[in-house]
Amino acid sequence: MKAVSYDQRAVRRARYAVAAVFAVHGAVTGSFATRVPWIQEHAAVSAGQLGLALAFPALGASLAMPLAGRISHTLGARNALRGLIALWTLSLTLPSLAPNLLTLCLALFVFGATAGMADVAMNALGVEVENRLGRSIMSGLHGMWSAGALVGSAAGTLAAHLGADARLHHTLAAAVLTVLGIGACTWVLDLQPAEDEEPPPRFTLPPRSALLIGAVGFCAVFAEGASLDWSAVYLRDRLETSAGLAAACTTGFTLTMAVARIAGDKVVDRYGSVRTVRAGGVLAVLGGLLIVVSRQPAAAMAGFALMGLGIAVVVPLCFAAAGRSGPNPSQAIAGVATITYTSGLVAPSAIGGLAQATSLVVSFGLVTLLACGLAAFAGVLRAGDRNRPTVSRPSDAAVPDPRP
């Protein structure tokens, strides 16, 4: 992309615009996650079949993500994000319309494909804004995603408590979020490809530098996906709670994720990526153990909240470390994104399949085991603690990274 000149006021405005897009993206996920029990009942699918269906969003995302670069190259970053975020918000209406397993799988495939392409486009613009500002903002942007997920899940909790039809709920939510998403894109950076720039490849394998970093992200996204998609089902089926209380568990999880991510940039600046992720891994393990042994809804909800607190900043830090891990930052970031989405592909089906064969308690025992990997292998994120090299821009003074 061309290094288009922007003054600092425009860059700061672009930061808030991208943050708003992150929030809209998260609100779609939160709106969907709290109505999974309703969708399961409407489509008349078992826990194992639901696990299979919930693998399709990540499958669609993994296959479609490489196309986002081509779309941005063709349309420009702003128009690409505007179109992709609209497709993502409108796709929220599809899963609740599915009457059976086959149509649910197809709907979730499209749902995931649009999510993945929009995710790549907004993260790429977030990285560009971070480079121009010369300081860390990615955790905060992901915090805005979690804040949006919190708002979406809170609305979903209310809708579930009132017994509202998810088809009506998701249609109204999609309409509102589409308007907000398209509006926010007005102020993002409008990057255009250079005249001699080759279009990016449609598909590429992750570079070696991304594999270990991606493995840490894999553990975090597995826990996140399991908690988002299965926390409400866990409380309803395991602890026999009401639909409203089960949905509130998902809301609590997204709340701790949002708070931790919004505060994450300052924490990382002070303690570094490695120590932050190790401490988070310990909290996630404690949360997983509490989920597994709990017999009361309050204890299980506290466990999911600790899980969210522990894993919150891991993925943003994985992207930051990947960007500094090799000669081609964009390729490394794309590689980490592919691995983490693969985790999202594996997690729902693994949880559902294991629950079908054994129980949801055993499934979340697996989540707890993977959370141990965050504490054990956090050292591979040490690249994220290096001083950020200054970035020269036509109109922006380079600012050194404040991290030690």
Distance CA 170, CA 96 (A): 8
CA atoms within 13 Å, Cβ hemisphere of 117: 27
Q: What is the pLDDT along the chain (404 residues), one digit of tens a residue?
A: 555 667 788 999 999 999 999 999 999 999 998 899 999 999 999 988 998 898 898 788 888 877 887 888 889 889 999 999 999 999 999 999 999 999 999 999 999 999 988 988 898 788 788 778 877 788 899 889 888 988 998 999 899 989 999 999 999 999 999 999 999 999 999 888 766 666 665 666 666 767 889 899 999 999 998 898 889 889 988 888 888 888 888 888 878 888 888 888 888 888 888 999 999 999 999 999 999 999 899 999 999 999 999 999 999 888 878 766 765 555 667 678 878 877 876 787 788 889 989 999 999 999 999 999 999 999 988 865 544 443 433 333 333 333 33
Structural tokens at position 350? 């693994």
Distance CA 3, CA 392 (A): 10
